[in-house]
Structure 1
Amino acid sequence: MMKFKKFKTAAAAGLMAAVMCMGTVVSAAEEPTVPTAKAEIQKDFQIAEGITVPGITFTFTFAGLEADAPVISAKTVDYSNADTVTSGISSKTVAEIFSEATFPHAGVYTYTVKETAGETSVENGTVTYDGSVYTVRVYVKNTENGGLAIDQITAAKSGAAGTEEKQDAIKFVNKFEKTTSLTVAKHTEGALADKTKAFTFKVTFTKPATYDGSTFVSGNDTYTFGQEYTFTLADGGQKVFSNLPAGTRYVVTEVGAADGYAPSVTVVENGTQTVTNKTAADADSLATAETGKTNLAGEGTNTVTFTNTYKDVPITGIIMNNLPFVILILAAAAGLVGYLVIRRKVAR
């Protein structure tokens, strides 16, 4: 009986130890590292196509929470007009942010990492800063030779009501946005072209990936991305879409009509002429882009110019304004011929 009790006690103790060990393993596995013994800051600068990367410096600060936590100097990431954007993002990193630190002893050192908000108006655009706050914990261990080494680094982003969300990276995301305009102009050519004739157009806008809204306001009008809008223009007229988020894509189509006017279009996208005198038959619609494609409204000049040429038809059955004079001349000629004929008969 005593042996059974001892076995039962030992088994219970073993089970408890196993559960405790399993709990420790799970807890460690649930806390992501960023990464083991090293950490870096990732900067994602979101910029729509058609916008030049601005010259700007982003600054990150580190505040140690323990009195003996080593001071970590502020880190910076610099951007210039020469930087490029891939899929709407220009990414950079600050590597090994704790490489300069000399820790006084083994233990856990906690830092609050933030981005410093700077100028929001930069190079005629607007910069949005990331207000995220990260709590970074540095685990320092004793080494076999009596020294110290960083064992691992973890990060958590501050959430609502003081909560922490574990993160696999220390990442700050910023945006740079600009507004632009698109001008659609109309011209007609031909000696008999009706300069007062109105032509019908349709336009659809697709918002850039970096734009959070679903609409934009141009003058007194509000436009929703993805919807089709109709407007008309006569010779010399133009339609200007202002306050357009740079990076917006669009398609403008002149609605076809069998009216004798052959349309053509020229398109300038972000300062570069991309379509030159694209034509269609007078009864066919003419779009600024091929089916399934769109045009770009970048930070530069964006214009669409439609020119319709009226086909002059040879005119028959002309009634001249000097017809009375012609009749008099013909009558005089007839009289002269008659006089000559009579005179010849008399002479015989």
Structure 2
Amino acid sequence: MKNYFKGMIAFCVSGMMALALTAPVFADQTDAKAYITKEFDMPVGTKIPDAGTTFTFDMSAVKKDGGNYAKTISQKSITFTDTDTKRIIDVNGAGNDHKIYRYLKSTPLLSTEEVNQFKADGPGVYEFTINETLGNEEPKETEDQTNHLKTTTKMTYSRAEYKAIVYVKKDNTNNNYISDIKVTKEKDDQGNTVTNGDAKKVNPSKPDDNIPGSGGLRFVNTYLKEIQDTSTENPDPVTPKADNPTDPNEARDKIFSVGKIITGDLADQNQKFAFTVKVTAPALANVSSKQYSAKIVTADGTQDGETLTFTDGVAQTVSLNHGEKLVFTDLYVGTAFEAQETDRDTFYTSTTYARLNGGIPAQKSKERELVTGNVSEGTDTVVVVNTRNSNSPTGIFVNNLPYILIVLGVLAGFVGYIAAKRKSEER
């Protein structure tokens, strides 16, 4: 009897398990999602225009199961403003000229209405391509007549193309749902056909730092700015001050400059000090051996010597005396710079100052420190102050000797007078 009941129990359990395996699943199926991601890169220091920048994406005609499909997918758009979150990326860890601002945003590939339309039109395979709307890539020039600065901007659009395949199936309750959205990369950002199978596969999710390859349905755009000083007249004279070496109101500072101030009661303001200066265009500019103009401008606003030429990425030595500045007249925003005083005169104490992006002046070092950075859309200046003062007097200075002799003479005469008077009284 016991064996009989054991057999019945085993039979019932087996039957229940079989029913569980074959029973329909009544949970709602979640529609698969995909996102278009826009990556917007520019050299560090570059600002997005105040009005913002909008990118749009076009969808081709949709095919269902290889045939024509009457419905269309709307154009999508993504807008960036300067207040959006950005990251500073050191591309390949290659230095300041490879530092960029990177903006990332995503938008759904399909709107809620389009998802519902696919489901309403029944199971099948829907296919279409996605491209970015190309804008004007010609350099655009704007002139600031007040400050005599010309800005040239250049936008590079993505020529990438992606193919999306949307699968609509029926679930166990006979309702339609989007089971999957597969995306392949057909062309890269330069418009070249992608043939490698692994390179074609992308993950069309939102970007996520914790998921490698996420945000794969991505269009990459770059943005560059170049600033040129167009003034034809000398700047207003200035009085260099050791207590305000990076005066933000100085007319000579427009893009990037390197200056010298010599101060102290023993200082020789005609003495020249050597500086090593190097400028390197941002890697996004994709230039090599480009040349830049610079000039040495005195405190009274006149140019000292001929215009200098700097080659991209090549350090050059210049010599400056009191009140002079090396002033660059054309540079990309984001240009990496290096500046350092290289002369060592033990009679002088050196202090290096920097004011970057028109901000608050900062004392960089009490030495001849190497200052590095990136040219901004504000003014960037590096100034080294050399000070030579006399020590506290412990002896007689020659220039005071005549006065000392006069005082001593008066004292000697007075002492002589007293002595003579006493002798006459003793008699």
TM-score by length of 1: 0.69
Deviations 1:185-232 (A, max 9, x none): 11111234222110011134465454433455321523333x432111
After TM superposition, give the deviation of residue 42 of structure 1 in Å. Answer: 0.8
Q: One-letter code of the match for 2:325?
A: Q
Indicate conservation of the 8 Å contact 1:109/1:139, yes or no.
yes
Which residue, out of 272, 275, 279, partners 1:198? 272
Structure 2 CA distance, aligned partners of 1:259 and 1:202?
Answer: 19
After TM superposition, give the deviation of residue 58 of structure 1 in Å. Answer: 1.0
Identity %: 23
Structure 2 CA distance, aligned partners of 1:312 and 1:183?
Answer: 31
Indicate conservation of the 8 Å contact 1:39/1:98, yes or no.
no
SS at match of 1:300: coil
Could you tell me which residue of structure 1 aligns to residue 390 of structure 2? 312
Could you tell me which residue of structure 2 aligns to residue 132 of structure 1? 159
Q: 1:300 to 1:49 in 2, by over 3 A?
A: same
SS at match of 1:117: coil
SS at match of 1:231: strand
Indicate conservation of the 8 Å contact 1:115/1:172, yes or no.
no
Deviations 1:211-265 (A, max 9, x none): 433455321523333x432111001110013433323443322124235222112
Structure 2 CA distance, aligned partners of 1:161 and 1:322?
Answer: 86
> More deviation in 167-176 or 137-146?
137-146
Structure 1 CA distance, aligned partners of 2:339 and 2:384?
Answer: 10
Indicate conservation of the 8 Å contact 1:157/1:167, yes or no.
no
Could you tell me which residue of structure 1 aligns to residue 80 of structure 2? 79
After TM superposition, give the deviation of residue 174 of structure 1 in Å. Answer: 1.2
> What is the root-mean-square deviation in Å for CA atoms of aligned residues?
4.3
Could you tell me which residue of structure 1 aligns to residue 128 of structure 2? 110
After TM superposition, give the deviation of residue 77 of structure 1 in Å. Answer: 0.5
Larger fraction in strand: 1
Structure 2 CA distance, aligned partners of 1:48 and 1:142?
Answer: 46
Q: 1:127 to 1:167 in 2, by over 3 A?
A: farther
Structure 2 CA distance, aligned partners of 1:154 and 1:257?
Answer: 62
Could you tell me which residue of structure 2 aligns to residue 41 of structure 1? 36
Q: How many residues align?
A: 301
Structure 2 CA distance, aligned partners of 1:277 and 1:170?
Answer: 44
Could you tell me which residue of structure 2 aligns to residue 261 of structure 1? 348
Equivalences for residues 84-103 of structure 1 within 5 A: 84-86=85-87, 87=89, 88-97=101-110, 99-101=112-114, 102-103=117-118
Q: 1:133 to 1:210 in 2, by over 3 A?
A: closer
Structure 1 CA distance, aligned partners of 2:337 and 2:176?
Answer: 63
Q: 1:279 to 1:158 in 2, by over 3 A?
A: closer
Q: 1:216 to 1:152 in 2, by over 3 A?
A: same
After TM superposition, give the deviation of residue 40 of structure 1 in Å. Answer: 1.6
Q: One-letter code of the match for 1:110?
A: F
Q: 1:189 to 1:122 in 2, by over 3 A?
A: same
Structure 1 CA distance, aligned partners of 2:387 and 2:177?
Answer: 82
After TM superposition, give the deviation of residue 163 of structure 1 in Å. Answer: 4.2
TM-score by length of 2: 0.57
Could you tell me which residue of structure 1 aligns to residue 7 of structure 2? none
Unaligned runs of 5+ in 1: 1-35, 281-285
Indicate conservation of the 8 Å contact 1:125/1:179, yes or no.
yes
Structure 2 CA distance, aligned partners of 1:161 and 1:49?
Answer: 26
Which residue, out of 283, 306, 315, partners 1:228? 315
After TM superposition, give the deviation of residue 49 of structure 1 in Å. Answer: 2.7
Could you tell me which residue of structure 2 aligns to residue 189 of structure 1? 263
Deviations 1:253-280 (A, max 9, x none): 2124235222112111112235227323
Structure 1 CA distance, aligned partners of 2:192 and 2:256?
Answer: 46
Q: One-letter code of the match for 2:109?
A: E
Q: One-letter code of the match for 2:311?
A: Y
Structure 2 CA distance, aligned partners of 1:233 and 1:320?
Answer: 34
